[in-house]
Amino acid sequence: MKKMSAYLSILKKDMKNYYLKPPNLSWGIIFPISWSLMFFLRSTSALDYREILPGIMALSILFGTTSMLAVTITFERKSRSFDRLLIAPISLNLLMFAKTTGAILFGVVNAFVPVVLASFISSLDGINWLLVFGGVLLIAITSAFLGLAIAVSVSEVFEAQTFSNFFRFPMMFLCGLFIPISTLPSLLWPLSYMLPLTYGVDILKAAINSDNHLNVFFCVAVLVVFAWLLFAISTSNIKKKWIR
């Protein structure tokens, strides 16, 4: 009971201090809408919004979670407020899960902003919503843990943002969000399949358009492994670098 109370207290503090601030809420809405409008304006023919919906949802999650978490953890570490959390009578794993839950929820909410937009301009019949939510949640978890791994590897906020872009921008072009992996040079295929977002997008494609190229259960398993590895790397770095 005490562990749950501590978990909820940390989550509540983060939601109030970071994720529910008006600038962050507006950014979470504007970002996916901007991406949607960009595709409509650049398209010279009729555009099926459902075709690009999985990619826009995945990008909304990726940028929302990694941006917020990399900044909040790095800022708290620099201001030494994170040090007070480290001496709290809870396990490190529970502490870091509490710190990442806010980013995960933020990413999930961001993912459904383009879905609301799609409901006005395209038919959403036949979508497997249970699989959509599962895919969104897995992408949010792996993206949040990626942001956590980045945050614990740097000491300045600008370093966290720069390091985040080192992973995010290649994912935009290599993970099959809008360009099928099969159309990329074959030399890039191994790199594409080394990135977690590839598997998350494939789940969303299966749920929305039945256009997946990999087995859904395989994608789920790979994302679970990625999430575990990223979380383990992050907590290991904290123990080595932050806890004396």
The whole-number pLDDT of residue 237 equals 84
Answer whether residue 20 shows pLDDT above 80: no
Answer whether residue 157 shows pLDDT above 90: no
Segment 167-191 shows an average pLDDT of 88
60-97 in b/e form (b: 16+ CB < 10 A) is bbbbbbbbbbbbbbbbbbeeeebeebeeeebebeebbb
**Domain-wise residue ranges, the chain:** 2-40+47-241
* CA–CA dist 20, 39 (Å, integer): 29
The whole-number pLDDT of residue 195 equals 93
Answer whether residue 24 shows pLDDT above 70: no
* CA–CA dist 133, 197 (Å, integer): 15
Strands (DSSP E) contained in the chain are none
The upper half-sphere exposure of residue 221, i.e. CA atoms within 13 Å in the direction of its Cβ, equals: 5
Using pLDDT thresholds of 50, 70 and 90, give the confidence band for residue 163.
confident
Question: Rounded mean pLDDT of the chain?
Answer: 83
The whole-number pLDDT of residue 216 equals 95
pLDDT in tens, 65-76: 887 777 777 777
Q: What are the structure tokens assigned to 201, written together?
A: 């997008």
The whole-number pLDDT of residue 41 equals 61
The upper half-sphere exposure of residue 202, i.e. CA atoms within 13 Å in the direction of its Cβ, equals: 23
pTM above 0.85, yes or no: yes
| Low-confidence winner among 122-126, 142-146, 153-157 (lowest mean pLDDT) | 153-157
Segment 26-45 shows an average pLDDT of 66
From the centroid of its chain, how far is CA 37?
A: 21
Q: Are the beta carbons of 60 and 31 closer than 8 angstroms?
A: yes
pLDDT in tens, 49-96: 788 889 989 988 988 888 777 777 777 777 677 767 767 677 888 888
| All residues at 6 or more sequence positions from 52 whose CB lies less than 8 Å from its CB, including other chains | 36, 39, 178
| All residues at 6 or more sequence positions from 198 whose CB lies less than 8 Å from its CB, including other chains | 174, 175, 176, 181, 192
Answer whether residue 22 shows pLDDT above 70: no
